[in-house]
Amino acid sequence: MSQRITRVAGPAAQACDMASSFMGEVVKLGAMGLIGEVIRIEGDIATIQVYEDTTGLMPGDPVERSGEEFSVELGPGLLGSIFDGVQRPLQALASGWGNFISRGAQIPRLDRSAKWEFQPKVTLGQMVNGGAELGHVRETELINHKIMVPHGVSGEVAKVFAGARTIAQPVAELADGTPLYMRQKWNIRKPRPVGKRLPSTRPLVTGQRVIDSLFPIALGGAGIIPGGFGSGKTVLEQTIAKHSEARIIVYIGCGERGNEMADTLEQLRELSDPATGRPLMERTILIANTSNMPVAAREASIYTGVTIAEYYRDMGYDVVALADSSSRWAEALREISSRMEEIPGEEGYPTYLAGRLGAFYERAGKVAVAGRPEESGSLTIIGAVSPPGGDFSEPVTQASLRMASTFWGLDSQLAYQRHFPAINWRTSFSLTHRAMSRWFTENVGEKWPEMIAKTQAILQREEELEEIAQIVGADSMEERERSALEAGRIIREGYLRQSAVHPVDVCCPLPRQLKTLETILGFIAAMDAAVGRGALLEDIITSPLVERLLRLKEAPPEGLDSLIESLREEYKTFFDSLEEK
Amino acid sequence: MSRSIVTEYQTVDAVKGPLIFVRGIKGVSYGEMATIVTGPERSMLGQVIEISDKFAALQVFGPTRGISPATAVVRFHGEPIEMSLSPLILGRMFRGDGAPMDGAPPLIPAHRRDVSGSAINPVQRELPRDFMMTGVSAIDGLNTLARGQKLPIFSGAGLPSNELANLIINNAGLANQGLAGQGLAGQGLAGQTGKFALVFAGMGITGREADYFYNSFHQSGAIEHSVVFMNLAGDPVIERFITPRLALTAAEYLAFDLDYHVLVVLTDMTNYCNALREISSAREEIPGRRGYPGYMYTDLAGLYERAGRIRGKPGSITQLPILTMPDDDITHPIADLTGYITEGQIVLDRDLNRKGVFPPINALPSLSRLMDHAIGAKSTREDHRQLADQLYMLYARGVEQRRVASIIGEEGLTEEDRGYVRFADRFEKDFIHQGESRRDMEQTLAAGWALLEGIEDRDLVRVSRDMINKYRPQRGDDELDKDKQA
């Protein structure tokens, strides 16, 4: 073995005598055995991106080839865990190596000693293919983990071992002697196979009014959240992680703040699933590769996360993968590309940026599961984008825009006014809105599409009038027009604005969205009619009813219906009384 | 990694800006330190930033002028940049490269640590949730700082960022030593009673600025619990690359070995970033935005992320980096990348400064991401969040109407809109402005509620009825009448 290091520059290293290596091969470098991956081969020189800090490596240090591509380990024990970008379990790393990330730690990715109660589904003599369900274990109180035959393996089941097993012990054996384990490996850069892609006709309900009502995302869709710093990307992603109706959440903290990861972790441990009362962490997997952790591992982190997400999709679950932030991933790509002295494209990013981003978002989708065509699962990918200077014309935002079916553009101006979620209703869009409208009519209400159209019209009208008001002054506007401005304000304050901390307001289920919006639109119509008949706007907006309407979203769910009922009656009486004046 | 035999080479091949290239080396590792001897009694430090079997590239922490390939000797140390640490470091002053500048002998090390530090394992991070008093209403009231947070000051040329930093240093120190009250309910909270230390890193600052801080530290006595690193504008630019790393290594030692609450002031980060750009351009790297290297985000994160708390450790590192936004441009890469890493920002504003408001903090773009964790009934007061939101809403509206009025004239505004403009004026004059005085939490909240006197109920949508009744100053009807007549 004479492979050895010839050059080290930041996260990139080169090694000689590597002609028989292959792209993507995992290697170990130096005495510490730092993990890296081959990303270029020229003659017998291979360029390696190193997933750990390279300080201390020197030319002449040995390089050990593994013969394998970079893959993650999949099996029970993933849920509730927190991994770094190359799937090292951070909890175990902390217990064994202390408070700081240490290098060269050799540590199994999934716990080899934990026992899981395996309940078989297959019977002896049954023929199985890749993707077939062998049985399941109860991974957490919330989630059953299906044990599936790895892709590429098939045969007749000869033995089954029910009961408490570790992932190191086989749970079944095929007639040809092939043992089947509860764990399998998968190359992170290769999408897991699917049976068939299915059209997506229902939304991922997030509990966020502005999203679910105006810009819903499809189950299996791809959404992006671009926004300058401080516009609330991370809070929005955290909120979706906590309150959306997904069964499994994979949260990828890619090049972001350490304190934020601590925060996410803490919240998910404390918050409980409303249906079962179990901690939300039991349906969550966190990938944390913070901004000061090695840059090459940051590049890998989104693939690690999405591969784990696909694995749970293959069990038939609706999975959401949240990537915060895809821009940091793109920067890692740029840094490695520049160390390889590639010819850069736009703003120094490699020319393959758009291609890689596209391939990543394409891993989203609603599918018939490979090997079990009667079952379906979905993977929704939501990526935050951090455009420099908040300028959406930069390459990462633009490349992501082409891939995404849903776009939630965050606006610094709204954030400055503390209007959160700061989703700009003028620039955002949902391409799948139409495809889902049938679902909304059937599941939310007949009138829903009409109400949404009305809401958008009010916001549109407000925007036009604001422009006029800025030229001529609101004072010189007609009463009807000022009433339209007030309508816009009520929609913004009373409906679109939603607190991420208020115990009730933090999550608004769809039936409640319907009731709230109905009440608000009813008031606006009555106000408009009254002003049309000559009532003074001043008399309306100074009424305490407006304040109560704006606070409707904060009212506790118990007694909401009677509150709405009385509010409606009161404003009816109120407008009638205006009439009489 | 360390070797007993020091390797020496006289094979300098090229000198380019702050870099030198040494050929024919063996057994030298990436990131290793070296001493470059350029003449009798003349030497400087350098670090290996690229190594291959043919050559090593070193970045030199000193002027490369005078280095001759013919005579220079490079002595490799066999280890990365390390610094000496001991409890006696408190009260000391060092140059930007770590050499003592207070006349006292070098520290006798109790420990030696790699200055580049390691990332804190995210699962070992303790979320900062202890309120840290600064005595400044615009910060304590609206953008509250937590121990373990990193909150930069975005300044502009000629704006009083140093004065603000100094005010915070003095107030934070006072509050911590029990000389003044903590948060209202904050007494006895874990982490509020510990020892306080200041670590100050000046990078490329002028002699005048250095004197300002130096005198202030001496006058207030802060120097006794401080560690100061000074790289002045005339000092070698590349030295700035290690100055903040020395400071943060000292801070980590004080916080996580000796249990101090450490406040780290890094000024001016703009000079640091410019040094980074200089190194990058000398290495002929492909520049990113405005010539700054593409890895500047990662590099800055390596500094800023060294703030925080660790599970089970009483100490903390709070960072207050100061940067000058070129041309007051908040989208400039230095401010932009900083804002993406830090947990908020305090933005200084030229218009407010011109109006004589001190500290001239523009509340709208300012933000503290950890505020919600640090405030509330348990630490400050139950109404804190609501009050801050309410002030924000009214101020944002006032500023907007002020802009409209500048286009259409004040007469074009409705009476209601004029009310918002008046609110914005009072907010700047009575709440943001406080001069050199120090407000405790009670005074800050009271100043906020005083502004809400006379505001119509329909505008008070961010504060609950209960809070209004409990905290808004009550006034008699005759007083209100008087107001109306006025």
Same domain for A462 and A563?
Answer: yes
Could you give the C-alpha distances from A417 to A170, A277, A515, B172, B396, in angstroms and in order?
Answer: 58, 35, 27, 29, 6
C-alpha of B247 from chain center:
12
CA A186, A189, A193, A196 dihedral sign is positive
For residue A106, is it within any domain? no
Whole-angstrom distance, CA of residue B118 vs CA of residue B114 = 9
Identify residue A339 by its one-letter amino acid code: R
pLDDT band at residue A217 under the 50/70/90 scheme: very high
Answer yes or no: do B119 and A290 touch at CB < 8 A: yes
- A475–B413 CB contact, under 8 Å: yes
Buried b (16+ CB within 10 A) or exposed e, A37-72: bbbebeeeebbbbbbbbbbbbbbebebebeeebbbb
CATH number at residue A316: 3.40.50.300
CB contact under 8 A, A348 and B122: no
Which among B29, B128, B336 is the nearest to A58, CB-wise?
B29
Which pLDDT does position B180 carry in this prediction? 35
Distance CA A291, CA A257 (A): 6
Q: What pLDDT sits at residue B479?
A: 53
B120–A100 C-beta distance less than 8 A: yes
Distance CA A513, CA B154 (A): 40
Residue A394 lies in a domain: yes
Sequential DSSP letters for B417-450: HHHHHHHHHHIIIIII--TT----HHHHHHHHHH
Residue range A53-106, pLDDT digits in tens: 899 999 999 999 999 999 999 999 999 999 999 999 999 999 999 999 888 888
Q: A-chain residues within 8 Å CB-CB of B393? A: 417-418
Residue that finishes a domain, picked among A398, A428, A458: A428
Same domain, residue pair A571 and A536:
yes
Closest approach of chain B CAs to the CA of A9, in angstroms?
5
Q: Kindly state whether B189 is in contact with chain A, defined as any CB-CB distance less than 8 angstroms.
A: no
* Angstrom distance (rounded) from CA B446 to CA B453: 11
CATH class of B83-375: alpha beta
Predicted pLDDT of residue A1 = 54
Contact list in A for residue B392 (CB cut-off 8 A) is: 417-418
User: Does B346 lie at the interface with A, CB-CB under 8 angstroms?
Assistant: no
> B124, A56: Cβ pair inside 8 Å?
no
Percent of chain A with pLDDT over 70: 99
ipTM above 0.85, yes or no: yes
Same domain as A543, residue A490:
yes
Report in angstroms the alpha-carbon separations of A336 from A21, A298, B294.
Answer: 20, 11, 10
Number of continuous H segments (helices) and E segments (strands) in chain A? 16, 26
**pLDDT of A50 higher than 50:** yes
pLDDT value of position A335: 86
SS3 assignment for A243-265: HCCCCEEEEEEECCCHHHHHHHH
Could you tell me if A205 and A282 lie in one domain? yes
| CATH classification of the domain holding A554 | 1.10.1140.10
> In this predicted structure, what is the pLDDT of residue B412?
81
What residues in chain B have per-residue pLDDT under 70? 1-6, 173-193, 475-486
**What size, in residues, is chain B?**
486
Closest Cα in chain B to A344: B286
| The pLDDT of residue B86 | 96
**How would residue A581 be classed by pLDDT, with cut points 50, 70 and 90?**
low
Regarding whether A178 and A205 lie in a shared domain, the answer is: no
Which residues in chain A are contacts of B126 at CB distance < 8 A?
Answer: 262
- Determine, yes or no, domain membership for A49: yes
Task: Map out the domains of chain B as residue ranges.
Answer: 7-80, 83-375, 384-477
d(CA A70, CA A83): 15
Task: Tell me if B7-80 shares its fold with B83-375.
Answer: no
- By the 10 Å C-beta count (0-12 exposed, 13-18 middle, 19+ buried), B378 is classed as middle
CATH 3.20.20.70 is right for the domain spanning B7-80? no
Asked if B322 and B163 touch (Cβ cutoff 8 Å), the reply is: no
Residue A324 · residue A256 · CB < 8 Å: yes
The first and second tokens of residue B81, run together, are 């940049």
CB-based contacts of A352-360 (< 8 A; 24+ apart in sequence)? A353/A395, A353/A396, A353/A399, A354/A395, A354/A399, A354/A402, A357/A326, A357/A330, A357/A396, A357/A399, A357/A400, A357/A403, A358/A399, A358/A402, A358/A403, A360/A302, A360/A303, A360/A306, A360/A326
Residue A437 lies in a domain: no
Residues A397, A454 share a domain: no
SS3 assignment, position A149: coil
Residue of B nearest to A348 (CA): B288
Q: Give chain A positions within 8 Å (CB) of B7.
A: none
User: What residue of B is the nearest CA neighbor of A292?
Assistant: B302
DSSP string, A395-426: HHHHHHHHH-SEE--B-HHHHHTT-SS-B-TT
Task: For residues A200 and A178, state if they share a domain.
Answer: no
Q: What is the pLDDT of residue B185?
A: 34
A161 and A217 part of one domain: no
Listed residue (A163, A139, A156, A400) closest to A278, CA to CA: A139
Q: What is the pLDDT of residue A209?
A: 97
Q: Which residue has the higher pLDDT, A285 or A500?
A: A285
Is B118 at the interface with chain A, CB within 8 A? yes
Domain limit, last residue, from A159, A182, A205: A182
pLDDT for B220? 83
Residue A422 falls within a domain, yes or no? yes
Q: CB count, 10 Å around CB of A490?
A: 21
Query: Would you call B343 an interface residue with chain A, using a CB distance cutoff of 8 Å?
Result: yes
Size of interface A-B (CB pairs under 8 A): 227
CB contacts under 8 A, B 202-261 vs A, are 256
Average pLDDT over residues A316-331: 95
Note whether A165 and A298 are same-domain residues.
no
Same domain as A49, residue A116 = no
- The shortest C-alpha distance from B64 to chain A (Å) reads 22
Which residues of chain A have a CB within 8 Å of the CB of B288?
A: 334, 347-348
Decide if B295 and A335 are in contact by the 8 Å CB cutoff.
yes
Identify whether A438 is part of a domain. no
Q: What is the pLDDT of residue B344?
A: 93
Query: Which residue of B1, B81, B120 is the best one to mutate when testing the A interface, meaning the one whose CB has the most A CBs within 10 A?
Result: B120
Name the residue among A53, A44, A58 with its Cα closest to residue A7.
Answer: A58
CB within 8 Å: B51 and A58: yes
Contact partners, residue B348, CB within 8 Å, separation at least 6: B153, B154, B155, B156, B159, B160, B161, B164, B359, B360, B361, B362
Mean pLDDT on A177-192: 96
Length of chain A: 581
Chain B residues near residue A351 by CB distance under 8 angstroms: none
Residue span of the structural domain in which A141 resides: 111-182
Residue B302 touches partner A, C-beta closer than 8 Å: yes
Backbone angles phi, psi at B407, to 5 degrees: -90, -50
- Are A364 and A474 members of one domain? no
Closest residue in B to A334 (Cα) is B294
From A40, A69, A98, the end of a domain falls on A69
Residue B291 touches chain A, beta carbons under 8 Å:
no
| pLDDT above 80: residue A326 | yes
Q: Are B306 and A291 in contact (CB < 8 Å)?
A: no
Any CB–CB contact under 8 A between B95 and chain A?
no
How many structural domains are present in chain A? 4
